[in-house]
Amino acid sequence: MTTTILRQVRPLGGEPVDIAIEDGVITAIGTGLEGDEVIEGGGHIALPGLVDLHTHLREPGREDAETVRTGSQAAARGGFTCVHAMANTDPVADTAGVVEQVYRLGVEHGFCDVQPIGAVTVGLMGERLAELGAMATSAAGVRVFSDDGKCVSDAVLMRRALEYVKAFDGVVAQHAQEPRLTEGAQMNEGALSGELGLAGWPAVAEEAIIARDVLLAEHVGSRLHVCHLSTRGSVEIVRWAKSRGIDVTAEVTPHHLLLTDELVRSYDPIYKVNPPLRSADDVAAVREGLADGTIDIVATDHAPHPMEDKECEWDVAAFGMLGLETALSIVQQTMVDTGAIGWERVAESMSAAPARIGRVERHGRPLAVGEPANIVVYDPAATRVVEPADTASLSRNTPYAGIELPGRVVATLLRGRPTVLDGALIEQEASA
């Protein structure tokens, strides 16, 4: 059996050690370890492989924007060893057949584990429940269900979904957007939207759905996850719900931790995203929420689009931006370098907690003997200028083009197999 030594890394930013890996499992941690192969860690930080609970891989149906292969390559370059693929594909991932197709594509390409998310309703139409039980018992073992991109706005249907998923320990991940309050909305509602002449997207459209759904989750005793929370009021509602013991978790995206609606002054559709970029006060609130644990996780909402869908007039441009390859850098810049959190909290919010929520047992584990060797090695002292042409994604719609960001993923290991070394992708055989 081959023994691989990950030489001189600092788990969670601690003291340098060597990590020995055999058959995909950590077998020893110490100094001066010997093995058959050596991967130099350079004294950089080692974290558990990152887990994204909110990724759009577009396949099947929009392979011009992204595929499971290219999206999982982008994930590996960002330090992710597992991503959850959203259901708004074509056909929609609302049957066992479609989720199994996505799952098997992830296994085939092997750059990270791809865990499909199943649709809550048939065709994302919000009219009747999809085959939740069939998806849960399929080879993909779906545990997260979401109509992301569309809100399950019918309260009766949302209640039924929350009741249904209890049977297999599932969770409904809600895109909190009251549709009647956001018809034609283009950006965050406020003085700036009036000044720019763009239809406003009020914070209450998000907050009202979250308030309703935490009460529904409490009523039926089920798990609720709030996707891409973005306002101060939303943070306060989730904080209140947790104080009551309601089983709710929430995520924030990297772009909502950094970018504000002031960027919309450029009318550049690269900044058009759902939910919209919010005010500086909202950004401060979501940072506080992530720091104190009200917001459980960071999720990328990686949303690739082909050039023609973003390089056009603002009102017809698609919502969304890339996020996988820059997420860790943004969290470092906004949360670690500001002193708001340390690397242990980064590991919790970007690996352990999303793995728990998604019920992916092989991921989010501590760097300890006997645990799967899913590891990212990260150099926080490095800097890089984001070049859209350098992304592994098929799409180029990053809002950070030309911006210098801190940090660099040096290596990513999936069950001990390098998917990235020295920042470069390593071609994979089929994953276990």
Residues marked as catalytic: 301
Give the rounded percent of residues in the chain with a pLDDT score beyond 90. 98
Identify the three-state secondary structure at position 121.
Answer: strand
pLDDT given at position 431: 47
Query: Is 228 assigned to a binding site?
Result: yes
Residue showing tokens 């929430």: 250
432: pLDDT confidence band, cut at 50, 70 and 90? very low
Please state, rounded to an integer, the average pLDDT across all residues of the chain: 97
Query: What count of Cα atoms within 13 Å lies in the side-chain half-sphere of residue 271?
Result: 15
**How many angstroms separate the CA atoms of 23 and 417, rounded?**
9
Q: What is the pTM of this model?
A: 0.97
Query: Is 148 assigned to a binding site?
Result: yes
Query: Is 44 assigned to a binding site?
Result: no
pLDDT given at position 427: 85
* Beta-bridge partner residues of 250: 226
How do residues 197-256 score in pLDDT, each as one tens digit? 999 999 999 999 999 999 999 999 999 999 999 999 999 999 999 999 999 999 999 999
Query: Is 274 assigned to a binding site?
Result: yes
How do residues 367-416 score in pLDDT, each as one tens digit? 999 999 999 999 999 999 999 999 999 999 999 999 999 999 999 999 99
> Domains plus CATH for the chain?
3-45+371-425 (2.30.40.10), 49-358 (3.20.20.140)
Please give the average per-residue pLDDT across 118-123, as a whole number.
98
Give the residue from 118, 107, 215 showing the smallest Cα distance to 165.
Answer: 118
Query: Is 305 assigned to a binding site?
Result: yes
DSSP states of 232-271: HHHHHHHHHHHHTT--EEEEE-HHHHH--GGGGGG--GGG
pLDDT given at position 411: 98
**How many angstroms separate the CA atoms of 405 and 383, rounded?**
6
Residue pair 271/264 in contact by the 8 Å Cβ criterion = yes
100 sits in which H/E element: helix 96-109
Would you call 40 exposed, middle or buried from its count of C-beta atoms within 10 A (0-12, 13-18, 19+)? middle
The answer for residues whose C-beta is within 8 angstroms of residue 293's C-beta and 6 or more apart is none
1: pLDDT confidence band, cut at 50, 70 and 90? confident
